[in-house]
RNA sequence: GUGGGUAUAGCUCAGUUGGCUAGAGCGCUAGAUUGUGGCUCUAGAGGUCGUGGGUUCAAGCCCCACUAUUCACCCCA
């Protein structure tokens, strides 16, 4: 029989046990914090009718969508979690209560050329708050507090939540030039952090923006200071544009209430260069970076949008949400060794029965320890104590229980600490205490 | 879509201006007196050098094609 070469598709991430354990730790932390903030879980299908997925898509995204035909049905794999959410909310509108707060952590697919840290199959961890007709700006303020709690707990080092408001930008640009151009400019300005002021100025000139305006745009966008200072600066610019004024008020509120919710100023900065590529953000926008690893890019981003489900319902559904690109984040963290695999197993203790005679006794011990919530396993396959200890060692199992004739006679078990290399003879009650 | 790089053991890679039985480290297996792992030492297994063609007395090395893979740009999370 010929052997088929085992291989995984490029752009698809597959982890070893010790890596997966770390991945799940991050996953669980995010999930726990989402739930703590009152978001309900949602799990929509990976596959949808093609027309659902394609409704919003266009241009670059559309080319990247995986599409299938099964029988006469056209199918597509979701490329984010927002489109399925839009469909879901439109579909179950009458059965949901609003504001609808949901989280979803799941896989999405994009058939683009794989690159370092960019995958064709990747996890996103999203929260969104959807309103029926209207949605208070206070929700925009709550989002940073959730981001703050998550990354505080994950402890990847100092991070900064950058915040901006599209209305402020749009209002400012509207005074200078026509709307179409403003949109393109936003995309370029968004990159200023990455490519620098000069490169941005150059690209703007290519767009045939007048020199005078290039200067204005750059110096506006690069206004720096504390949040309070920046708001004062923006107010003092004397721009009499309705959008601008509204945006500024929103920004002010978001900062104020996010602070009240416990996000320290050190972790929350107004940054006028943040624009986000996506067109559908209309108000608050967020981007979070690790201070010591700015090169990783944004680890969490999102914003406020006016109308979630316009393609699927006539209802107006404004929302605000964020997305953590979990696969990419994890990959980068591993690469930079901010996250390092530790254990290959979930097991706290391994029972080693010395021979057949010890099996009955060992099984009873296993049963009792598991009943007490211990993550305990028993070894059947390895021969001899040497092989068993080696097995435990390779997987970083912290404790080993040796059960042989002596132990059975005395009812005291040999309890070995693999890390310290020490061992003692203990009753099962003492072992339960040690493991809990 | 555009432009580069790479392809040799399970993994990471050496391999000189082409030269005779293709190497290292890690990992794996076994042993160093039969209930004690990690460290050390010893031994062993494991490769039609991506595929096809060409040049040559001789190709892992040079040339061509194909395939795979990877990085960057574009765009995005």
Local confidence pLDDT in tens for the 436 residues of chain A: 567 778 888 888 888 888 899 999 999 999 999 999 999 999 999 999 999 998 876 666 778 899 888 999 999 999 999 999 999 999 999 999 999 999 999 999 998 888 888 889 999 999 999 999 999 999 999 999 999 999 999 999 999 999 999 899 888 888 777 666 677 777 777 777 667 777 777 777 777 777 777 778 877 887 888 999 999 999 988 888 899 999 999 999 999 999 999 999 999 999 988 876 667 788 999 999 998 888 788 889 999 998 899 899 999 999 999 999 999 899 888 888 888 888 888 899 999 999 888 999 999 999 999 999 999 999 988 878 999 999 999 888 999 999 999 999 999 999 999 988 899 999 999 999 998 8
Q: Which residues of A339-361 are buried (b: 16+ CB within 10 A; e: fewer)?
A: bebeebbebbbbbbbbeeebeeb
Provide, in whole angstroms, the distance separating residue A15's CA from nucleotide B16's C1'. 39
In this structure, chain A runs to a length of: 436
Mark residue A2 as left, alpha or beta (left: phi above 0; alpha: psi -120 to 50; beta: remaining): beta
- Which tokens in the block code for residue A247? 């945006």
How would you classify the pairing of strands A73-77 and A121-130? unpaired
- Nucleotide with minimal C1' distance from the CA of A195 is B73
Nucleotides of chain B touched by protein CB (<7 A): 1-2, 28, 30, 34-38, 68-77
Distance in angstroms (rounded) separating the CA atoms of residues A411 and A361: 10
Distance in angstroms (rounded) separating the CA atoms of residues A295 and A316: 38
pTM over 0.80: yes
- Nucleotide with minimal C1' distance from the CA of A408 is B35
| Reported ipTM | 0.84
Residues facing residue A39 across a β-bridge: none
- Nucleotide with minimal C1' distance from the CA of A277 is B76
Provide, in whole angstroms, the distance separating residue A11's CA from nucleotide B22's C1'. 33
- Which tokens in the block code for residue A284? 């608050």
Distance in angstroms (rounded) separating the CA atoms of residues A244 and A386: 73
Provide, in whole angstroms, the distance separating residue A114's CA from nucleotide B69's C1'. 11
Distance in angstroms (rounded) separating the CA atoms of residues A344 and A354: 24
Instruction: Output the CA–CA distances (angstroms, integers) from residue A191 to A220, A221, A307, A324, A348, in the order listed.
Output: 15, 11, 26, 19, 47
Provide, in whole angstroms, the distance separating residue A389's CA from nucleotide B33's C1'. 20
- Nucleotide with minimal C1' distance from the CA of A12 is B69
Cα angle at A127 between A124 and A129, to 5 degrees? 150
Which element (helix H / strand E) includes A209? Answer: none
Instruction: Output the CA–CA distances (angstroms, integers) from residue A93 to A71, A87, A130, in the order listed.
Output: 30, 10, 11
A115 CB-side CA count, 13 A: 4
Other CB atoms closer than 10 Å to residue A54's CB: what's the count? Answer: 18
Helices A17-36 and A326-335 cross at an angle (nearest 10°) of: 130
Mark residue A34 as left, alpha or beta (left: phi above 0; alpha: psi -120 to 50; beta: remaining): alpha
């Amino acid at each position: 029989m010929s052997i088929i070469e085992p291989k995984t598709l490029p752009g698809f991430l597959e982890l070893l046990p010790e890596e997966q354990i770390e991945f799940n730790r991050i996953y669980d932390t995010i999930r726990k914090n989402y739930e703590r903030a009152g978001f309900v879980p949602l799990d929509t299908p990976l596959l949808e009718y093609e027309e659902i997925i394609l409704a919003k898509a266009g241009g670059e995204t559309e080319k990247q969508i995986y599409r299938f035909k099964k029988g006469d049905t056209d199918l597509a794999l979701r490329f984010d979690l927002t489109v399925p959410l839009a469909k879901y909310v439109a579909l179950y509108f009458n059965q949901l209560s609003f504001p609808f707060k949901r989280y979803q952590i799941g896989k999405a697919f994009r058939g683009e050329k794989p690159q370092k840290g960019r995958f064709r199959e990747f996890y996103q961890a999203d929260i969104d708050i959807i309103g029926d007709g209207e949605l208070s700006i206070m929700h925009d303020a709550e989002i940073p507090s959730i981001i703050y709690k998550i990354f505080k707990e994950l402890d990847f080092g100092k991070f900064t939540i950058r915040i901006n408001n599209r209305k402020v930008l749009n209002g400012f640009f509207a005074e200078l030039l026509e709307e179409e151009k403003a949109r393109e400019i936003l995309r370029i300005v968004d990159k200023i952090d990455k490519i620098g002021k000069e490169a941005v100025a150059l690209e703007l000139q290519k767009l045939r923006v007048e020199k005078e305006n290039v200067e204005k745009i750059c110096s506006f966008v690069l206004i720096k200071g504390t949040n309070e200072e920046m708001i004062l600066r923006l107010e003092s610019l004397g721009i009499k544009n309705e959008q601008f004024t509204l945006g500024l008020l929103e920004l002010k509120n978001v900062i104020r209430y996010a602070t009240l919710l416990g996000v320290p100023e050190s972790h929350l900065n107004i940054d006028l260069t943040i624009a986000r590529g996506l067109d559908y953000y209309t108000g608050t926008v967020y981007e979070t970076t690790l201070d010591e690893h700015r090169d990783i890019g944004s680890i969490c981003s999102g914003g406020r949008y006016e109308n979630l489900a316009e393609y699927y319902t006539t209802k107006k559904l404004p929302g605000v949400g964020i997305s953590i690109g979990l696969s990419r984040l994890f990959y980068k963290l591993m690469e930079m060794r901010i996250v390092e695999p530790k254990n290959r197993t979930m097991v706290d203790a391994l029972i080693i029965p010395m021979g057949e005679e010890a099996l009955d006794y060992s099984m009873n011990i296993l049963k009792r320890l598991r009943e007490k919530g211990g993550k305990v396993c028993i070894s059947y396959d390895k021969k001899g104590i040497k092989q068993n200890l080696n097995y435990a060692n390779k997987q970083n199992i912290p404790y080993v229980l040796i059960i042989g004739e002596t132990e059975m006679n005395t009812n005291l078990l040999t309890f070995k600490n693999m890390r310290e290399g020490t061992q003692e003879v203990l009753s099962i009650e003492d072992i339960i205490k040690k493991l809990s």
